Amino acid sequence: MTLGFPDGFRWGTATAAYQIEGSTTADGRGPSIWDTFTTRSGVATGDPACDHYRRYRDDVRLLSELGVPYYRFSVAWSRVMPDGRTVEPRGLAFYDRLVDTLLEHGITPMVTLYHWDLPEALQAKGGWPNRELADHFADYALTVHKALGDRVRQWTTINEPFCAAFIGYGNGDHAPGIQDEGAALVAGHNLLLAHGKAAQALRSNGGEQEVSIVLNFAPVLTDVDDAVHREAARKFDFLHNRFFLDPLLGRGYPPELLADLAHLGTLEPAIADGDLEIIAQPLDVLGVNYYAPARAVPLEDPEADSNCPLPGLRGMDVQPPRGELTSLGWEQRPECFTELLLWLQEHCGGLPLVIAENGAAFEDEVVEGRVHDEKRVRYFAHHLAAVHAAIERGADVRGYMAWSLLDNFEWAMGYTQRFGLVHVDFETQKRVLKDSALFYADVVARNGL
């Protein structure tokens, strides 16, 4: 039986600049917070990653062999503006060549302007807790749009502001590695403001374009259906899933969420008059990243230590994942994906959705030139079936980008987690198509599963 997808469904793969490019000092590129963070913490750095900056032509050829027609990549702000503000034409020229090469191979480019690699020069000005960054980001967005907007129609402002703000400035597991819960909330607000100003800048430059932002969602599960469990789940859900979504939809921050966070005393003073209007720029589509659900439980003693990684939440804890896990320890729950898409369909009032990332890390091995990654094949099959089920039940899902084209630099985990459809040997840079790549190519060719 074939599960067919709608005509014109956009099939793609996704990557991010710092995770694949390498060449971190080439052609005038300035340092980003990820260069500083990885060098300081002694984990592997994004150099050489997949050496994509030098091998992009080969990688585009690979995409074209796979027959996957869309490609989502991100632009490194510190290549285009090494100090965050002054243009480096050689950096911009790289993305110009990349876009042309994609188009020559019949592949539609989808640009993400910010995938976490803030120029270090702007971190020196305080980073995302400084609201001036929103204006710098809008200038940068306009610069890139002026260079590529004649050929690129799909524009995403920011990837996962949740991670950039709450992991970067809250628990400090990601760059810039700051642990300040109050500042993390302000960073979150300023990232939304930056999105709004960038959306205005992109549209001010004319042309037909689709403007989106990409959010990561974690459906929240609880074991017990009673008032305290429901309240723990509500708190987690509001901060993880609605802090970013509701202001984008023009609804501001939910009052319960503001109450949950009031004790930190930072978020409400950071919201200036007019901010919420700027944030609520119309979206053409919403980019959805889904990997795993979360499990929330109440804490009997609200002051007790909690494993909850989210800034400012009290009285609740998170439980370890269960069942089948990926090598990163993420729980595999395709059924939550269907529920999430149906909830978004309703909550966002019919805004079209595109899956901007979904995928899994497993321990892969090259054996006689092949990678039999049956766990990943199964993961994709189940999650694509979950997307299909949501479409059948009325969700307006327009496309699916598999994370990721290549094994790459997985942030704080360095090179230990392989998410690629294509295996990369980081010593030799040899690429080998995994079985999951062949499986995905077949789904794309049939427009069905």
How many residues at the interface with ligand FCB, by CB under 6 A?
Answer: 12
Helix or strand holding residue 200 (H, E) = helix 181-204
Instruction: Please report how the helices 181-204 and 132-148 are oriented relative to each other, as an axis angle in degrees rounded to 10.
Output: 40
Asked if 202 and 210 touch (Cβ cutoff 8 Å), the reply is no
* Whether the Cβ atoms of residue 312 and residue 260 lie closer than 8 Å to each other: yes
| Beta carbons within 8 Å of 324's beta carbon, 6+ residues apart | 331, 332
| Residue in 70, 238, 337, 411 binding ligand FCB, rule: CB under 6 A | 411
Q: Could you tell me which stretch among 50-58, 156-164, 244-252, 293-301 binds ligand FCB (CB under 6 A)?
A: 156-164
Two tokens, residue 41: 């913490």
Instruction: Report CA-CA distances (Å) from 50 to 56, 296, 370, 375.
Output: 10, 37, 19, 23
Piece of 37-45, 155-163, 218-226, 247-255 that binds ligand FCB (CB under 6 A): 155-163
Give me the sign of the Cα torsion angle 107, 112, 115, 119: positive
Q: Is residue 357 flagged as an active site residue? A: yes
Buried b (16+ CB within 10 A) or exposed e, 366-375: eeeeebebeb
Q: Tokens 């369909």 appear where? A: 345
Options 357, 363, 365, 427, the catalytic residue: 357
Q: State yes or no: residue 173 binds ligand FCB (CB under 6 A).
A: no
SS3 258: helix
Least distance in angstroms from the C-beta of 18 to ligand FCB: 9
Give 64 or 327: the residue with its C-beta nearer to ligand FCB.
Answer: 327
Query: Please, which residue, 74 or 143, has the CB nearer to ligand FCB?
Result: 74
Q: Which among 160, 231, 256, 392 is annotated as catalytic?
A: 160
Q: Which residue among 51, 160, 246, 373 contacts ligand FCB (CB under 6 A)?
A: 160
Name residues whose C-beta falls within 8 Å of residue 301's C-beta, 6 or more positions apart in sequence.
none
Least Å distance, CB 163 to ligand FCB, is 6
Residue 358 found at the interface with ligand FCB (CB under 6 A): no
Is 117 within 8 Å of 154 (Cβ atoms)? no
What is the closest distance, in whole angstroms, from the C-beta atom of residue 159 to ligand FCB in the complex? 5
Based on the residue annotation, tell me whether 160 is a catalytic residue of this protein. Answer: yes
Is 331 an interacting residue with respect to ligand FCB (CB under 6 A)?
no
Q: Which residues 6+ apart lie within 8 Å of 104 measured at CB?
A: none
275 vs 379, which CB is nearer to ligand FCB?
A: 379
* Contact call for residue 337 and ligand FCB (CB under 6 A): no
Q: What are phi and psi of 237, to 5 degrees?
A: -60, -45
Q: Does 163 bind ligand FCB (CB under 6 A)?
A: yes
Footprint of ligand FCB on residues 12-41 (CB under 6 A)? 16, 19
- Nearest to residue 257, comparing CAs of 243, 244, 268, 269? 243
Instruction: Decide: is 403 part of the binding site for ligand FCB (CB under 6 A).
Output: yes
Quote the least distance from Cβ 229 to ligand FCB, whole Å. Answer: 27
- Minimum distance from CB of 255 to ligand FCB (Å)? 28
> Binder to ligand FCB among 35, 260, 357, 364 (CB under 6 A)?
357
Residue 410 near ligand FCB by CB under 6 A: yes
Spatial separation of the C-alpha atoms in residues 85 and 124, rounded to whole Å: 13
Based on CB atoms, which residue is closest to ligand FCB, 211 or 214?
214
Which structure tokens are listed for 124?
């020196």
Least distance from ligand FCB to the Cβ atom of residue 252, Å: 25
Nearer to ligand FCB among residue 96 and residue 410 (C-beta)? 410
Segment near ligand FCB (CB under 6 A), from 182-190, 193-201, 310-318, 403-411?
403-411
Indicate which single residue of 32, 101, 157, 159 sits in contact with ligand FCB (rule: CB under 6 A).
159
H, E, C per residue of 403-417: ECCECCCCHHHCCCC
Interface of this chain with ligand FCB, residues 216 to 275, rule: CB under 6 A:
216
282 phi and psi angles, rounded to 5 deg: -60, 135
For residue 380, state whether it binds ligand FCB (rule: CB under 6 A).
no
Q: What is the CA radius of gyration of the chain?
A: 21
The single residue among 217, 419, 439, 440 that binds ligand FCB, judged by CB under 6 A, is 419
Question: Is the CB of 187 or the CB of 271 nearer to ligand FCB?
Answer: 187
Separation in Å, CA 32 to CA 5, 76, 84, 146, 446: 39, 9, 9, 23, 41
Q: Quick one: which segment of 96-104, 158-166, 374-382, 438-446 binds ligand FCB (CB under 6 A)?
A: 158-166
Residues involved in catalysis: 160, 357
- Contact footprint for ligand FCB (CB under 6 A): 16, 19, 159-160, 163, 216, 289, 357, 403, 410-411, 419
